[in-house]
Amino acid sequence: MAQQSTKQSNRQSLAKRFNQSLILMYVVTVLVTTPLIYFITKLQVYSRAEQELVLLVDVVKSIQSFVANDLRPHFMKEQIFYSPSFSGIVATSRIAKYLKQSQPQYYISNVSDNPLNPTNRVKGLEAELLNQFRKNRNMALVTTDGVIEGRNYLVSSAPKVSKKGCLRCHGKPEQAPEDVKAMYGTGSGYGYQSGEVVGVSVVGVPLEDVQSLTIRRSLIVIGAITLLFAVLFIVVNRLVRRLILEPITEITTVAKAVSHGDISREVHVRDRKDEIADLANAFELMRRSLVAAMKRMKRKT
């Protein structure tokens, strides 16, 4: 009974150490994996958004170049005034309106704190960007993230600088085209000076919620890690019991028997070539040497 109790105690002690090591490895793996998932997720979210943003900015620039280089010279030659064909800002706003109907997640705006159209007045993040461009005239482009209309965006913004041609509509109110005054009135959008920053162009693509995406990915990865460690836990415990605990218990049992005078019991260890086999063979040699010594002593007596 005492031998069985000792055997069980030894098994629990070694098994407990292996189990504690596995649990510690599991905890460390989870603690390292979670921030790593957050970092990778954030990197992927911003990388994807940056790719979309570059494409959208190029589309907006292409629209404005088309208006400036193809439409405006033709209509000026024909002396026909139509604001979308004269102003890249107006043309972009019209196209952005139609784009929003099919792709509402994208944000395109050309805004000012002194706009003709009151719907194009700066607010929130746009106002902050406009102030930055006015404070630092060397800034040509700013890419940042921020909240627009309650949604988190990665935005690319550029200053809108008044040029001499802009003064036709935005100079003195009395000199503006009649259809401009009829559409927008004369209360806002005038008094521009050539070379001043009058507004900001903002193009934005939505950013996925990094926190919620990280939580979803973490749950999946931690679930996979937990399953892996559960399988590892079972396999390692069985291997430890078979390859370590059982042979050591066998050696311990024989050693106790020898210590009580029973030198007839042999150490039986499976065919193996490792440290435990060396220990078993060494103990067996010692037992056999003891048996031989006892026989010699009996013959002498």
| Residue 8 in this model has a pLDDT that exceeds 70 | no
Backbone dihedral angles phi then psi of residue 23, each to the nearest 5 degrees:
-65, -40
Q: Could you tell me if 16 and 85 lie in one domain?
A: no
Q: Could you tell me if 131 and 246 lie in one domain?
A: no
Give domain status of residue 288, yes or no.
yes
| Residue 227 in this model has a pLDDT that exceeds 80 | yes
Mean pLDDT of the chain: 83
pLDDT of residue 269: 63
Task: Enter the DSSP assignment of 175.
Answer: G
SS3 151: strand
pLDDT of residue 12: 53
pLDDT of residue 13: 64
pLDDT of residue 174: 85
Q: Region 22-48: what's the mean pLDDT?
A: 89
Q: Which residue has the higher pLDDT, 85 or 113?
A: 113
Give domain status of residue 224, yes or no.
yes
Give the rounded percent of residues in the chain with a pLDDT score beyond 70.
Answer: 92
Domain that holds residue 251: 2-36+213-300
Q: Could you tell me if 262 and 231 lie in one domain?
A: yes
State the pLDDT confidence band at 133, using cuts at 50, 70 and 90: very high
| Residue 28 in this model has a pLDDT that exceeds 60 | yes
Q: Could you tell me if 102 and 186 lie in one domain?
A: yes
Residue at a domain's end among 187, 208, 229 = 208
pLDDT tens sequence across 194-225: 889 999 999 999 988 777 888 888 889 999 99
* Tally of domains in the chain: 2
For residue 88, which amino acid is it?
G
Instruction: Find out whether 249 and 7 touch, Cβ atoms under 8 Å.
Output: yes
pTM of the model: 0.64
Give domain status of residue 71, yes or no.
no
Give domain status of residue 44, yes or no.
no
Q: Could you tell me if 260 and 141 lie in one domain?
A: no
Residue at a domain's end among 208, 225, 256 = 208
Query: Of 230, 231, 212, which Cα lies nearest the Cα of 37?
Result: 212
Q: Region 140-154: what's the mean pLDDT?
A: 89
pLDDT of residue 10: 46
Give domain status of residue 62, yes or no.
no
Residue at a domain's end among 208, 224, 256 = 208
Q: Could you tell me if 100 and 143 lie in one domain?
A: yes
Give domain status of residue 30, yes or no.
yes
pLDDT of residue 187: 86
Q: Could you tell me if 284 and 228 lie in one domain?
A: yes
Q: Could you tell me if 203 and 90 lie in one domain?
A: yes
Q: Could you tell me if 123 and 218 lie in one domain?
A: no
Give domain status of residue 171, yes or no.
yes
Give domain status of residue 128, yes or no.
yes
State the pLDDT confidence band at 11, using cuts at 50, 70 and 90: very low
The structure tokens listed for 68 are: 């400036």
Q: Which residue has the higher pLDDT, 44 or 5?
A: 44
| Least confident interval from 11-15, 22-26, 120-124 | 11-15
Report CA Rg, the chain: 41
Taking 3-state DSSP, the helix, strand and coil percentages for the chain, each rounded to the nearest 5, stand at 65, 10, 20
pLDDT of residue 270: 62
Q: Could you tell me if 129 and 154 lie in one domain?
A: yes
Cα dihedral: 163, 164, 169, 173 (round 10): 110
How many angstroms separate the first and last alpha carbons of the chain? Answer: 36
Residues 6+ apart with CB under 8 A from 140: 158, 159
Q: Could you tell me if 85 and 181 lie in one domain?
A: yes
Q: Region 173-195: what's the mean pLDDT?
A: 85
Task: Enter the DSSP assignment of 173.
Answer: G
Q: Could you tell me if 197 and 228 lie in one domain?
A: no
